[in-house]
Chains A and B, each alone.
Chain A
Amino acid sequence: MSCEVTYEELAAHAAGDMDLHRHAEMDQHLAGCAECRRRVEALAKTDAALASLAPVQPSAWAVLEIRRALSEIIRPRRYPEIMTLAEAADFLRVRPAELGEVAESLPAFELAGQVRVRRARLIEWIEQRERDYSRQRNESWVARSRVVGTGRGVA
């Protein structure tokens, strides 16, 4: 005659995921049920087989290709020390045509009829613009504060 205890109950019991009362009942049941002991044995062997299963190896070629593809994304492009205008625009993340708006202040030089930009000078120029922008923002904040302060005084 087949036992009514399910494999799932035995699996929970073996993993210790059962309340203490039910666990004790199962212990008692197992002592007298050869079929369940056989199933517990099968569960233990299955757990051991799963745990000892060697990992699947992706092909070395595939891993190499994936590394290469990811590397293109995670490694920012390296720019030369002397850049063309197109490279400078790319460096600044703007379209070349948009450089026209800042052409007068851009730290560029002419060489054999072509415009070039030194990367180090471009970074200095960016830093100066950062300082200018920060100062303007502060001034505008102070001006707003004064207006608000005046308004409060009047009220």
Chain B
Amino acid sequence: MDPLSDDDLMRLYGEGDAEAFDTLFDRHYMAVYNFAHAMLADAGEAEEVLQESFLAVAQAAKTYHPQGMFRAWLMRIVRNRCLTRLQARRARDALLRAGGLEALEARSPDPPPACAEARERADLIRSAVAALGERQREAIAMYAFQQMSYQEIAKVMEIPVNTVKTLIHRARAELAPRLAPYLQGDQR
């Protein structure tokens, strides 16, 4: 038997089936967490966004319109929460700077350090992604880490498909020369 679609599960949850919501959570929580982690580069904040996002899903179950786009709808919720946090972070950092204080912690990781041996390879790649501009980062996180289509990403970011392509190609174009020294031994 085919597994129930996300839309089916939302409908069942809307009718009071709590287990349907559990299934949705199991199916998507890793994608939500990983996207939030790529956006925020902070495990604690990513966990908070994970909880907030599924809470929003639960609250919206009655008004959800099934269109076969659950993942894009969910990721738009996650993205909005991440952007709100990034905005708050920028405002806080600006306030600290205005007060003559440095930001308490460097939230945007630096580009990969010269000494690659000191870092795990995965951390190195994530740091490089985290150092991208915000829009490039979110586009590449959805494209490369979630295997989302250009169309889905366009829905999440509410921008044209061609803009999504440009963001992704720019992100790859920035990442390739940065990572090249560390990926020399890799096979294509």
Contact = CB atoms under 8 A, between A and B. Distances in A.
Chain A: interface secondary structure? helix
A38 to B, nearest CB: 9
Contacts, number: 118
Size range of the chain A interface in the assembly:
35 or more
Interface residues of B, number: 43
Nearest to B169: A11
B18 A11 contact: no
Nearest to B29: A63
Contact of B173 (A11, A57, A58): A11
Interface string A1-22: 0000011101110010100000
Given A50-B125, A54-B122, A74-B21, A66 B176 contact: no
Interface of A: 6-8, 10-12, 15, 17, 39, 41-51, 53-59, 62-63, 66-67, 69-71, 73-76
Interface of B: 13, 16, 18, 21-22, 25, 29-30, 33-34, 37, 43, 46-47, 50-51, 54-55, 58, 121-122, 125-126, 129, 140, 144-145, 165-166, 168-170, 172-177, 179-180, 183, 186, 188
